[in-house]
Structure formats: C-alpha cells, structure tokens
Amino acid sequence: MEPGVLYETFELLKLKVKSFTEKDRNCVLTLDETALKAGYQYDKSGSCIRGSVTLPGHSGVATHSLVFMLGGISTRWKQVVAYHFTGDRVDGTTMNPIIFEIIKNACEIGLHMSCVTSDMDSSNRAMQKAFGIETSVKSDTHKYRITHPCDPNRYLYFIFDVPQQTKNIKCALVNGKEFTLSDETVAKYGLKSNIVSLNAITQLVEFQLNDDLKITPNLQTDKLMGSHFDKMKVSSALNRFSKSVADGLRYLVEFACGSDCLLTTAWFIE
C-alpha cells in the first residue's frame, strides 16, 4: 500500500467492527517513528524507486517511518491505518490533517476514538500545539482536550504515553542526581525527607554488589548512570523505577541500618 492514510485497511476494518460490542469500539490513536536505514531501492511491486520522504511538505531521503495505529482501550486489538516516510526533522503541524482524516474514517466505520497519544518528541509537541493543546508550568495553563471533531458532545484527549514519561523522569534524575519534593507532599505522606536521590539507588547497587542472590537483579553498576543510548531506552527506566527497587531500599532501612531518608526515594519509585 502507498504511503498515507490506508483507506483499503479501513474498508477491511469496517467488516471487523461490525462484530464489535460498544465497549470494543472504544479506541485510541497512537503515532510513533521508527528509524530506517537511509537509501534508495527499486520496488518491483510498485515499479518505482523507494527511499524518499513522503510526508507532505517535506523532502529528501527517508531516515524514519512514521506509523499511525488504532488500538482498543478496553479490548486488546490494534491496526496500522496510515504511514509515511520521514527525514531527520518533521514539522509536526503537517500531521494534523492526517490525524483529522483518520478520526473521520474511524468514526464512519463505527469506532469511538477518545485519545491521541505519542512520545514527547518536538514534532509531536508541535502537533499538539496546533490542535490547541497547551501545558505551561509558568502560566499554570493546562489544556489537554478539544471538542471531538465528529461529536460536539464528546472530547478528544491528547496525552504523552506513560513509558516515555517514565523514561524522561529517569533521565532527569540521572542528570540532576536528585528531586526536591514540596513540604506539602512530605507532610501528606509522612515522609522523612523531601529529597528523591539517585544516590539512594546507588547505595542499593553497592549493597548487593557481591551477593549471588540480589534483591534487584536488573540493577547493574555499569548501567546505573547510563550511556546516551541507554538513557533513550524505556526498559532502562523501568528497571530503576520498579517495585523490587523500592522493596530493596526499604530492606536497607529495616535490616541494613540504612538512613530513613531512603524511604522517600522508595515512596517516589512506588
């Protein structure tokens, strides 16, 4: 199928949707990029040369594929409904017409799209801004939804996917070494300190370094700080922000004379 909205796929999906319950029809649109090896190749099936950027308003050799996929919210199903080849830089506003077209076609076949989710790339932030979505800490402005294009009685929500947010929190902790919680949060949850520290996790790694049976086997000394590529991995963030790490910190306090301040980091991770 040619790059763009896959109308043939919507026709086939329409047949599947007929067997869906109302609950099954609730869905979300996810978009994400995948890196490609740049280069040109002859496509026998299409009798053409592939390898150029196809996203409207852009040109050059393609280095990524941008995929748009529908997925069930309460029922597990997913289907790619559009794609484009992109370069190293993408103007996020050019994705808006594609998203509108996907929403319209999804509604026409009986799907109830409630949300658009993506990672926190600059192009996706630009896309959200073009829809009128805005979040500013300085001005305390938070707009995360718009009137649904197909139903004025509903809203269409825009969110960043949770694993990517977890990765960004991990990177911030690795780069800055600690977070400071508000006094209100400390009082509300009965914490001993207002500092969430990477040093707490380092202490846990060093404590179990020579143990054959480790409390948190996924934590490794050489991976704690992380290389540039390690920082980009969601799995790396989940290794640090896991229940086993929180339990390990609590073990240090209860059985290994660790400082009570470690409990703040354990609470944060939980």
Phi, psi values for residue 85, rounded to 5°: -95, 135
Other beta carbons within 10 angstroms of residue 216's beta carbon come to 22
pLDDT in tens, 64-114: 999 999 999 988 999 999 999 999 999 999 999 999 999 999 999 999 999
Can you say how many angstroms the Cα of residue 20 is from the centroid of all Cα atoms in its chain?
A: 27
Two tokens, residue 125: 């932030």
Same-domain pairing of 43 and 124? yes
d(CA 168, CA 171): 5
Kindly state whether residues 105 and 69 are assigned to the same domain. Answer: yes
Same-domain status, 137 and 229: no
Token output for 47: 């009798």
Mean pLDDT across 235-247: 74
For the stretch 217-230, pLDDT in tens is: 777 655 555 544 44
Residue carrying the six token digits 């506003």 = 93
How many Å apart are CA 86 and CA 63, to the nearest integer? Answer: 6
For the whole prediction, is pTM greater than 0.85? Answer: no
What are the φ and ψ backbone dihedral angles of 91, each rounded to 5 degrees? -80, 105
Residues 197, 145, single domain; the answer is: no
The greatest distance separating any two alpha carbons of the chain, rounded to the nearest whole angstrom, comes to: 71
Question: Which of 160, 182, 206 represents a domain boundary (last residue)?
Answer: 160
146 and 252, same domain (yes or no): no
Domain final residue pick, 110, 126, 160: 160
Range of the domain at 189: 165-269
121 pLDDT exceeds 50? yes
Return the pLDDT at 229: 41
Q: Tell me, what DSSP letter sits at residue 94?
A: G
Number of residues that this document lists for the chain: 270
Tell whether 179 and 142 lie within a shared domain. Answer: no
Residues 136 and 17 in one domain: yes
CA–CA gap between residue 223 and residue 230 (Å, rounded): 8
The Cβ of residue 212 has, within 10 Å, a number of other Cβ atoms equal to: 5
DSSP state for residue 148 in the 8-state scheme: E
Q: What percent of the chain has pLDDT over 90?
A: 56
Of residues 41, 44, 63, the one with CA closest to residue 54: 63
- Pair 136, 243 in one domain: no
- What pLDDT does 228 receive? 44
Distance (Å) of CA 164 to CA 26, 120, 150, 228: 23, 7, 29, 15
Structure confidence at residue 236 (pLDDT): 59
Query: Residue 190 burial (CB < 10 Å; 0-12/13-18/19+)?
Result: exposed
Q: Is the dihedral of CA 132, 136, 138, 140 positive or negative?
A: positive
- Report the number of distinct structural domains present in the chain: 2
The helix (H) or strand (E) run that includes residue 88 is: none
> Residue 8, Cβ neighbours under 10 Å: how many?
10
Instruction: Give the SS3 label for residue 248.
Output: helix
Span 200-214, mean pLDDT? 84
Mean pLDDT within 129-146: 81
pLDDT tens-digit map of 150-205: 999 999 999 988 777 777 788 888 887 788 999 999 999 999 899 998 888 888 88
Are 118 and 186 contained in the same domain? no
| Same domain, yes or no: 134 and 256 | no
My answer on whether 171 and 143 are in the same domain is no
- Token pair listed for 158: 């825009």
Pair (118, 213) in one structural domain: no
Q: Which of 97, 131, 160 is the last residue of a domain?
A: 160
Check residue 89 and give its pLDDT. Answer: 92
